[in-house]
Structure 1
């Protein structure tokens, strides 16, 4: 059962990683996000491979290295949190923080090869749930890092401009979903004697898809958010996301939303006045076409201001 679920989640995560990178800006931020997804896919692959009855040394090695890929989640998530609101001017987190994560990754990965970090052990030729002495410290490192990032996102929801706040809502929702659901399957249920570790990926997948939207689809949070033109000929899922973003912005900061609407209205009024003046000049001094033709021509131009 667990091996089948691990294979299924491996395929799902691998396809997600491919989609995340293919339909993104393909910068370091997108690469970090895709790499995080791919490492989770490798983790699922190791869970599945460890169920296959290889020779004992090979199976023991596979069981021992199961936690290695997920040790890298905190450093990648930290990089994402530092840059999710600045996609065109990426920065590195502070050197001290990078050093801390690098040391933690090396420490837990080294001891993973010794078989004291993973959730499973080989007992009499069978893989059984028996956490190593560093399993829960490794879980603590990962989840403290995740919820620290969630705390930063929660702070940003109430600070900064609407661009930052909207991004933070999506990422915070994703991080909390991924963190809480995975913690239930990785920590809580095993303490009750129930081993469903690979089910944790279901919560993580929710985080990945929630987080992918603000990390790579910037236009939905700035350019398209403030452009109220309607494209009814080509319905898109992104239009629904833009509508949700406008609702959230109006709920969080009605004043900012009103300013955006006012700016759009003023801009369109100026454009309409300019078209009216242009039409009057053509009607008065133009020699081609009658008044009705000019009215029809400029009515279409006015419609194009509001319809894509």
Structure 2
């Protein structure tokens, strides 16, 4: 078989997006979609430094451009049979609109947009099961990349399903020429989760996807009342930090388990905006800075100023 004729169109469509990252985990239930949403919120509430430029005005004096420019972020829900991004962003009832230039992503704010199959179901019923074979799922992923009018974005975050199967291979094939900055791997501390993440590391290396680093999610439990911390999932073999050291990849940070994160996702709210000083919020912003540094994106945390 020859090369896919749609790949040049996908490459052209994604050319206006500066950075593209995949959020991966070989195991379900480690908070991959939650972390994708939190990272998207965090980047979308940040800025990148602007180079001051003095330009003359009518009086012969000069004015200086803004010191920072807000980051614009897109979130692609690539989990076709288990979409959860619309619920977490409170976009469940929003339909996808089709224009002459393609599908329009759903905008939560001026700097954050997303798209998911959930918003394309005829019944718009979140309880509807999506029973599709692999070819149909990869076909929809191609449409998401080829037909969605993302516009000029600083970052596209792709939330992938668990495993290393059809969707992951399709994303690698379709986005190869457009460029992928790398993958952020997500795990919890216990060895059962780390087993599958090791397989994901092997997949990334065989598929030629750079690994930005690994995040240890649910790393300890923080009580919202007494702020005490305890280990719910004890790292019996050293956790994600030890795995990162063994595999020679970056450890991006440890995000504690905070019940308010789950509540914020249930109600479609921004946890980082509601609880910016929480231990989980501080840890997440640390992850954002690490990711930005490793993909060459200077991040100015507007909420921290």
Superposition TM-score tier, normalisation by shorter sequence: under 0.3
Which structure has more relative contact order (CA 8 Å, sep 6+)? It is 2
Name the structure with the higher strand share: 2
TM-score (norm 2): 0.23
Larger Rg: 1
TM-score (norm 1): 0.23
